[in-house]
């Protein structure tokens, strides 16, 4: 798959943005939406997506980085508190060869604790009741 294909409005994150399918929302404003990854690499693994029709990292308008990364930082701080995370990983997979599977630009925020290894990317579905409880905990930390 070429990285230069146009944005596809039927991608799953676009459907989440339009409210056509549900998500475990942790934060939303006019710039970004943050929700839990349903196949978390660690508890509290969250995705932050811009409210822009942007396929990948090279397509993000230069002026959108500042406002978007402010939201990433805001969500990261809440995750750190809510999950008592000792550290965080920010990850971004660009292009199919880079591991990108959903072609609406997004940033992964993954809590880390000493001695706890990450689960594999996009491997295991988390139980809905666990995702619900985690989302509530993070929402309460803003």
Q: Which of residues 82-101 bind ligand AMP (CB under 6 A)?
A: 93, 99-101
Question: What is the Cα Rg of the chain in Å?
Answer: 14
Q: Active-site residue 121, yes or no? A: no
Binder of ligand AMP out of 7, 11, 12, 95 (CB under 6 A): 12
What is the C-alpha separation between 38 and 120, in angstroms, rounded? 13
Instruction: Please tell me whether residue 37 binds ligand AMP under the rule CB under 6 A.
Output: yes
Instruction: Return all residues near 19 (Cβ < 8 A) that are at least 6 apart.
Output: none
Q: Is the Cβ–Cβ distance between 47 and 106 less than 8 Å?
A: yes
Q: Answer yes or no whether residue 58 interacts with ligand AMP by CB under 6 A.
A: no
Which of helix, strand or coil describes residue 47? Answer: strand
- Give least dist CB 55 to ligand AMP, A: 11
- Which position among 45, 106, 108, 121 bears the catalytic label? 106
Q: What is the C-alpha to C-alpha distance for residues 49 and 59, in angstroms, rounded to an integer?
A: 13
Q: Token pair 């666990």 is at which residue? A: 130
105 is an interface residue for ligand AMP by CB under 6 A = no
Nearer to ligand AMP among residue 37 and residue 43 (C-beta) = 37
Where does this chain bind ligand AMP (CB under 6 A)? 12, 23, 37-39, 47, 93, 99-102, 121-122
């Amino acid at each position: 798959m070429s990285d230069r294909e146009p944005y596809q409005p039927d991608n799953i994150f676009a459907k989440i943005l339009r409210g056509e399918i549900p998500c475990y929302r942790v934060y939303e404003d006019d710039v970004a939406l943050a929700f839990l990854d349903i196949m978390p690499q660690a508890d509290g693994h969250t995705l932050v997506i811009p409210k822009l029709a942007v396929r990948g990292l090279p397509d993000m308008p230069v002026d959108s980085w500042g406002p978007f990364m402010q939201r990433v930082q805001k969500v990261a701080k809440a995750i750190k508190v809510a999950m008592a995370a000792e550290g965080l990983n920010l990850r971004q997979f660009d292009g199919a060869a880079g591991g990108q599977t959903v072609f609406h630009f997004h940033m992964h925020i993954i809590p880390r604790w000493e001695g706890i290894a990450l689960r594999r990317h996009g491997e295991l579905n988390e139980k809905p009741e666990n995702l619900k409880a985690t989302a509530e905990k993070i929402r309460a930390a803003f």
